Structure 1
Amino acid sequence: MLIIALLAGMSGCASKAPVPEAQAPVVISESTWQQVDWEIVSASQAVTDSVKDYARRSMKAWRDRVYQQTEAEFIPWFTSYWTQQWLTIKVAWYKMNAGNDTEPGEKRLAAYLQEQYHERVLEPVAKEIDPDAVMQQAIVLYAQLLGPQLQGIVQRYRLPPDQFNLRLSRIPAINLAPPPPLNASLYQLVYTNPVNKLPAYAALVRRVRTAAGTNGADQADAVLSSVAKRTSEKLESTLPVRGAASATAAAVGRVAGMMISLVVTGVGALMHDSERPEMVEQLRVILNAALDEEWATLLQNRTSGVMAGVYYLAEQIEGSVRATDAPPVQFEPEP
């Protein structure tokens, strides 16, 4: 009986135990959210600067390799005696076949030189350092570096993660077309791993590539067009002299003609050797100047350069964050 009484008393106590109340949601003041918004902007700016350092270092390595490849492969090829002879034949052929339905000889020669420059210089360098790959990696790096900075904001302000993530999901990072797959929020950008899984990432890369294509030929191609024009004019001026030497060789007979042809070739090679150092230096100067200009364009162009994707993301995020009258904080990025 005693045991039954004790059990009854315990059940009565248990039935009277207080029921825990539901925890009220944490309320973040509007001024705090304003300061958080400014920190998001500051974090984006700091990360953009860090990615810009990466892009500059990568593109400096690319420029140095293009310098080296141009010096080792293209300049010796272009200024060699036999290349100049071959170019003379091509110029003569272009001149013979010139007509209303064909491009001028210097344009056809420019296309050939551009093809050779890409094949001998740009394509081998791209196997080591590719500006297009640098552009894509810059976007990935921006997303990777921004994520930890945003987590730091959560910790500093003791924000509820669900509320902060909801705020991030309302900030567009990529907004390229009405279909949702081509859009992405800031939340998706920093929490999709890897970020290149996002369809919106692929759309952003295509956008930059399209802009690069519509900007026209690069500086090296433009310079090679100028070089081709001058080369074509110079080689055309030598055609009558070479034609006269060939006619004389044919008129005096086979053996003597072979001797005359060899002499003309030897004299031409000697003259070429005496002129070659000046030709090499001129070509080096104009190609290096064009390369410097192309390097600057690839770094600075906000729509088609290697930082174009990052600039787009930063502008979208920073422009979408609600404007406030609160002064921006001095942001120190997390190590």
Structure 2
Amino acid sequence: MNMRALIIPVLAMLAGCASAPKPAPAPVHISPETWHQVDQEILAASKTATAPARHYATQTMDSWMDSVYKRTESDFIPWFTGYWTQQWLTMKVSWYKVSRSKGEPSAAQRLDDYLQEQYHERVLDPVSEEIDPEAVTAQATAYYIQLLGQQLPPIAQRYNIPDEQFAAHLNAIPAISLSPPPTSAASLYQLVKAEPLTKMPAYVALIDQIHKVATGPEAGRPDAGISSVAIHSSEKLEASLAPRGAASAVAAVVGRVAGLMISVGTIGIGAIAHQSQRAEMEEQMRNSLYSALNEKKRSLIDNPDFGVLAGVYYLADQIEGSLGDAPLMPSSLDDVKTDTPPPPPP
């Protein structure tokens, strides 16, 4: 028999076997009870990741508040209670009264707007160059995502779940579900796998939404205490104008500022009288400002809609809500320390 005739069919058969696609491995059967345990551990991981993120945000906002206090004491209070500033404010209140038309803001409201601008320029804007609450929001959210992502692979390993099946399970857990477009939604798997996170449309949309609420009227202002200062100051300044009338007061104050129609001795007498009242003015301002700032600090940390932890709370609510409220089992995932957490990713 021709050996060549035998070899050719054998080679053809071997080649066919080599080129035939291998069948995909059958999925490993994971019982519903096991998936339930997995979900419990994901719940625990989310709660574990929340604590260090909150610790970081609280510490950072404590530093922000310290800086706000220092600049308020070193810049704004001395400026506001100064003799010439009070003369200038007297002129402004006088002009507000003279030029006001029906339906326009009152003198107190216009003074409030002016003092708000000054407080931002002298205190809040310089502090934000060092610690920006908007940046803290993004950093705390990214920190939570980082810590949560680090805890998920060991869960699959503990229950011997193949990567593909675990990824499919995480893909079924919604993490971000904002309004259209579809890019404003993301699963837990997409969230923890995004690199870089700042390029993920759903994450960017979430941070933008929090920013819009934080700068909206419902969030109030970090310098809300200025309003009470403005009202009190306006009332006091208007009372001082009553005996001579607003129009004559404008002319008088303009004359003082210009150095006309006023003697050096008169300036000295007015400055001495003002100095005797300055300590009381400073104390009144501290009481108004610091009470409002302390209240605003609590909102900036804990408010679920616009606080610096709003992103963390949103993601945790989405993930934990989709997994139900099953009692958490004791977990070995609590090895992330909450006393001195590492810095969040940039």
TM-score by length of 1: 0.85
Matching residue of 1:253: none
SS at match of 2:175: strand
Letter in 1 for 2:110: R
Matching residue of 2:211: 209
Asked whether the 8 Å contact 1:148–1:334 carries over to 2, the reply is no
1:193 lines up with 2:195 in the alignment:
yes
Q: 1:261 to 1:109 in 2, by over 3 A?
A: same
Q: Deviations over 1:28-75 (max 9, x none)?
A: 221111000000011001101110001001100100000111111100
Matching residue of 2:167: 165
CA distance in 2, matches of 1:37, 1:146: 13
Shift in Å at residue 129 of structure 1? 0.2
Q: 1:22 to 1:171 in 2, by over 3 A?
A: closer
Matching residue of 2:153: 151
Q: Deviations over 1:238-293 (max 9, x none)?
A: 2356789x99xx9xxxxxx9786333322110011111112112212221111111
Counterpart of 1:141 (choices 143, 154, 162) is 143
SS at match of 2:331: coil
Counterpart of 2:91 (choices 69, 74, 89) is 89
Matching residue of 1:254: none
Shift in Å at residue 214 of structure 1? 3.8
Q: Deviations over 1:292-317 (max 9, x none)?
A: 11101111101110001110100001
CA distance in 2, matches of 1:49, 1:207: 23
5+ residue gaps, structure 2: 253-258, 337-346
Counterpart of 2:228 (choices 223, 226, 238) is 226
Letter in 1 for 2:34: T
Query: How many percent of aligned residue pairs carry the same amino acid?
Result: 50
Asked whether the 8 Å contact 1:149–1:334 carries over to 2, the reply is no
Q: What's the C-alpha RMSD, in Å, of the aligned pairs? A: 2.9
1:34 lines up with 2:36 in the alignment:
yes
TM-score by length of 2: 0.83
Map residues 1-335 of structure 1 onto 2, 5 A cutoff.
Answer: 23-212=25-214, 213-221=216-224, 223-239=225-241, 261-321=263-323, 328-335=329-336
CA distance in 2, matches of 1:314, 1:68: 35
Asked whether the 8 Å contact 1:149–1:333 carries over to 2, the reply is no
Shift in Å at residue 332 of structure 1? 2.7
SS at match of 2:176: strand
CA distance in 2, matches of 1:127, 1:270: 37
Q: 1:161 to 1:96 in 2, by over 3 A?
A: same
CA distance in 1, matches of 2:24, 2:188: 31
How many residue pairs get aligned? The number is 314
Letter in 2 for 1:172: P
Q: 1:178 to 1:233 in 2, by over 3 A?
A: closer
Q: 1:23 to 1:182 in 2, by over 3 A?
A: closer
Q: 1:61 to 1:260 in 2, by over 3 A?
A: closer
Letter in 2 for 1:217: G
Letter in 2 for 1:333: D
Letter in 2 for 1:232: S
CA distance in 2, matches of 1:47, 1:114: 37
Q: 1:64 to 1:155 in 2, by over 3 A?
A: same
CA distance in 2, matches of 1:285, 1:22: 72
